[in-house]
Amino acid sequence: MSFRIRAGFYRQEVNKTVWDVPERYRDLLQVGTGAYGTVCSAIDRKTGVRVAIKKLHRPFQSRLFAKRAYRELRLLKHMKHENVIGLLDVFTSEISLDRFQDFYLVMPFMGTDLGKLMKMERLSEDRVQFLVYQMLRGLKVKSGVVYRYVLILRLVLCCVQILDFGLARQADSEMTGYVVTRWYRAPEVILNWMRYSQTVDIWSVGCITAEMLLGRPLFKGNDHLDQLREIMKITGTPAPDFIMKLQSQDAKNYIRSLPKVPKKDLHTIFFKASSDVVSAMERMLVLDPDGRVSAAEALELPMFSDFREPEEETEALPYDHSMDNTDLPLEQWKRHTFTEILSFQPPLTELRDSKETSL
C-alpha cells in the first residue's frame, strides 16, 4: 500500500518502517536491517537497474548520530572509482530544514560477492591474481580517505568493488549476507591498537587471498583470543618491539604469556601456488602493521605484473578531514547534512544492470 505525499514522492510501509521515496524507485523489498539503518532493494525506473536504498535509523537523534550520518554521506560523495562502491543518489522528501528528519542513500545493489563465489568454485591462480589486483586498486583509492576496515568485496561486471559505508559497521551482513567475521580482522583490531593505519585493510586482503587459494579461511578462530592464537601459529609470536606498541596492558601480558612459536613459511601451506603469489601474501600477512605492505607498494609486486595498468591505479583526491574532529551542535550537523544532500551531483555514467556475475 503506497500513496503520494508530494510531487514526485510517495510513501510506503516496508516491514513497519515508513519509506518516503521518489517515484523513480519502485518495488521496494527489505534486504537487511541493523542498528543504524535499514536497506531495501528497488528498481530504478529511470535506468531499469536494481539499486540498494539505505534509510538511516533516526540519524538526528543525537549529536553523535548526526555527526556519523554527515560523515558517512561526505565519504560516499567523495569516493568516485570503479573499484569502490559509490553513491548513485541521495534524497530526502522534505524541502525545508526545519522538517528534515530522514534521508536515504542509493547505491548499486549487491550482485555476487566473493563469499558466494568461493563457495561455488575453487578459483584458478590467475583469477585470484586478477581479483586481488582489483581489490588493491580500490584500496589505493581509499588510502588517505577512510581509515576503516574493508567491509565487503563485491563483484560487478567481472570487477571487484569495495563497499565501505564509512562508519556504518553493520553494512557487512545487511548488504550481502556475507558477514565479515573476526577471521578477516587485522591483529591490531583484535588487540585494540591505539591507532589504525591504512594497512589494516591489507591484512583482510591477505586473508581473502589465502582463502581463495585454499578454499577455506586461513585463520578460523572461535573467539578473539583463539583468533590471535591461530594468527600467531603462522606469523609466529611477536617480537618485544611489537608488544611495546600495544596500548592495553592486558594485551601485552596475554601475548607475553603465549608459548614462543616461530614464523611458518607460507610456501609450506600454499605449496601449489607460485612463489610470486606466496611472496605477496608474506608481505600482506605481517603481524605488525608498520611492517605490512601498503596498497600502492603491493601493486608493484611481481604477482600483479600481468595485470598492471599503472595509469589506471589512481588515488582519490584529498579528502577534507577538517570537520571530523569538530564538535558541533546537533542542528548544525543537520544543516550541513541538508546542504550536502542539496548539492549532490549524480554520477555521469549510470551503472548497467549488475546481475549475478560469473568470472
Residue 351 falls inside a structural domain: no
Closest CA to 254 of 228, 289, 235: 228
Which of 110-124, 131-145, 207-221, 276-290 has the lowest average pLDDT?
110-124
Q: What is the CATH number of the domain that holds 268?
A: 1.10.510.10
Strand partners, 10: 4, 21
What is the domain range of residue 333?
2-109+329-342
Set of cell numbers at residue 324: 571530523
What is the reported pLDDT for 164?
44
Binding residues: 55
What is the reported pLDDT for 322?
65
- What is the distance between the alpha carbons of residues 340 and 214, in angstroms, rounded to a whole number? 44
Q: Do 75 and 137 share a structural domain? A: no
Q: Do 244 and 221 share a structural domain? A: yes
Q: Do 163 and 30 share a structural domain? A: no
The helix (H) or strand (E) run that includes residue 16 is none
Residue 323 falls inside a structural domain: no
Residue 348 falls inside a structural domain: no
Q: Do 119 and 72 share a structural domain? A: no
Q: Which amino acid is at 58?
A: R
Predicted confidence band at 149 (pLDDT cuts at 50, 70, 90)? very low
Residue 2 backbone dihedrals phi, psi, to 5 degrees: -140, 155
146 pLDDT higher than 70:
no
- What is the distance between the alpha carbons of residues 218 and 288, in angstroms, rounded to a whole number? 18
Closest CA to 140 of 88, 75, 202, 184: 202
- What is the distance between the alpha carbons of residues 180 and 267, in angstroms, rounded to a whole number? 26
Binding residues for ATP: 55
> What are the tens digits of pLDDT across the range 80-127?
655 456 688 999 988 889 889 999 998 887 654 556 666 666 778 888
What is the reported pLDDT for 52?
86
Q: What is the CATH number of the domain that holds 84?
A: 3.30.200.20
Report the side by side order of strands in the sheet with 2-6: 2-6, 9-14, 17-22
Q: Do 78 and 12 share a structural domain? A: yes
Q: Do 150 and 7 share a structural domain? A: no
What is the reported pLDDT for 58?
86
Cα end-to-end distance, the chain, whole Å: 40
CA 314 to chain centre: 18
Residue with cell 601459529: 233
Residue 318 falls inside a structural domain: no
Give whichever of 140-144, 303-307, 324-328 has the largest mean pLDDT: 303-307
Report the side by side order of strands in the sheet with 159-163: 112-113, 152-156, 159-163
As a whole number, mean pLDDT of residues 182-187 equals 82
Which of 20-24, 29-33, 266-270 has the lowest average pLDDT?
29-33
Within 13 Å of residue 178, how many CA atoms lie on the same side as its CB?
Answer: 20
Predicted confidence band at 159 (pLDDT cuts at 50, 70, 90)? very low
Q: Do 292 and 154 share a structural domain? A: yes
208 pLDDT higher than 90:
no
Q: Do 116 and 105 share a structural domain? A: no
Concatenating the DSSP letter of every residue in 21-56 gives EETTEEEEEEEEE-SSEEEEEEEETTTTEEEEEEEE
Q: Do 99 and 244 share a structural domain? A: no
Predicted confidence band at 39 (pLDDT cuts at 50, 70, 90)? confident
Q: Do 167 and 88 share a structural domain? A: no
Which of 53-67, 233-247, 303-317, 329-343 has the lowest average pLDDT?
303-317
Look up the pTM and report it: 0.62
